[in-house]
Chains A and B, each alone.
Chain A
Amino acid sequence: MSAILEIKNLRVEYRSREAGQGIKLAVNDLNLKVQAGEVFGFLGPNGAGKTTTMNVLLGFVNPTSGSASIFGVDVREPIARQRIGYLPELTYYYKFLNTEELLRFYAKIFRIPRAERESRIDAALKLVELEHARKRLIRTYSKGMQQRVGLAQALINNPDLLILDEPTSGLDPIGRMKVREIIQRLKNDGKTVFFSSHELGEVETVCDRVAILNQGQLKVEGRVNDLVDQYKCDLEQIFLKIIGYEVAA
């Protein structure tokens, strides 16, 4: 298997907004490889540097040092994003558009030929079960529906790599189950999924490999089964041990 996502010695510093805080280190010397076809869980407590790392991968934030590449192309090159689908943690889309218009707009950005555009929109809407609401303005959608619009836009270009930032955040159990099903279906289709989540049970179910980040540093990386065997406990216990959380007796 070949690495389609590679992070080398990544370091991200930023100036803190609070007075007198100076420079803050968000990610420190991170090295990571994600192989084609695997579902990779990117874990860590709030403020661990997960979203910052994803922001670097998508070209939103420039690294202080180190590099990242996707499909062998530097992430700062827009062409690196041609085969990516991205679902942000908070899904906000143009509320004056309906879902069909939104997906058509993104399809144009991906230069999907006009003849193919409508069938791609139909397929994405079918996958996230939003066909019935395709003409409704996004502002009238519930949170769960908006999250599914997010997934549909992430899938419009039939990406080879999906980057999902807490895709089940704020969803009810049915919504979470549906997202999990979609991830599973993408995995079966041979897609690579790189996602962050706080739902460790869900991670354990769908992920092949995980990495746990704490205070900007990679603490553990490996196959879920290997880690469970090594630590002799479930992923949640492993996570708590690694971030140094003591469970009260």
Chain B
Amino acid sequence: MNNALAVSGIVLKELYRRKDFYVLFILTALITLVMGSFKLFNDDKIVRYLKEICLLLIWVSSMVIAITTAARQLPAEKENRTIFPLLAKPITRGQLVLGKFLGCWFSSGLALLLFYVFFGVISGTREHQWPVLNYLQALSLHWIFLGVVIALVLLGSVVFTAVSSNATISFIVIVGILFVARHLNKIALQLAEPGRSIVYTIYFAVPHLELFDVRQLIIHNLPLIPWNMWLIACVYGIAYSLFFLLATWMVFRRKSLN
């Protein structure tokens, strides 16, 4: 764990010394600020609509940060040849993968926290409501979602050679899961065998990332999700993250580096 934490520290340092994170953050913050300052006819629906757009923006930005950061980790180590002096030290490839995951997860969590606090402050000052627990549930589930995304992208980075192809494929797969996975069971019902079994298998095998999207909780100030359900969703996400990390390690541990 010590080694994994040391590697994650390097990932964090890289993120805050690069400019792309700041560009994305400032851009999202500016758009949120501009949208938050609109007051159109004192209409609640318009305010909620603007909140929805801002949250969608936060979702897209955080996903872009997570995917681009995770996709370049292992390939960049190999391409820049920094992996050689590193793996010549008493660190296992499993610790390296875990360290990269933790670094990306912590850094995207930090970015997420900044986004949510910024959005929460803008939104709270306009609505004079401070649903802190709603924000906490939305933020935590969003963070767990990013954990699954990062683990999946790390797996992609040991399978695909190019960073760009991994990032693009991962983005398409994740967006596909977000929009299509929840409907797969309904599609399966309309199919004949063996198509039905195949689609059902996919339905149960893919991580249902849509479960982590609880933006409505903030947009409509809905009552809190029961905490036991929240906990189950967290465990579900962590289990998928661990599964993808295990798969990454299995592929990476036997790979020759030269």
Query: Which residues from chain A sit less than 8 Å from chain B, CB to CB?
Result: 14, 51-52, 55, 58-62, 78-79, 81-82, 84, 86-88, 90-97, 101, 105-106, 108-111, 150, 153-154, 157, 163
Contact = CB atoms under 8 A, between A and B. Distances in A.
A109 B91 contact: yes
Nearest to B14: A96
A109 B89 contact: yes
Nearest to A111: B2
Interface in B53-84: 80-82, 84
B85 A150 contact: yes
B257 A55 contact: yes
A20 B91 CA distance: 37
A61 B258 contact: yes
Contacts of B86: 106, 109
B87 interface: yes
Given A60-B256, A94-B14, A96-B13, A88 B90 contact: no
A148 to B, nearest CB: 14
13 contacts: A55-B256, A55-B258, A58-B87, A60-B84, A61-B257, A86-B85, A92-B81, A93-B82, A96-B13, A96-B17, A96-B18, A105-B10, A109-B89
B3 interface: yes
Given A94-B14, A101-B13, A110 B90 contact: yes
Nearest to B17: A96
Interface in B1-39: 2-3, 6, 9-10, 13-14, 17-18
B82 A94 contact: yes
Given A61-B257, A82-B90, A109 B6 contact: yes
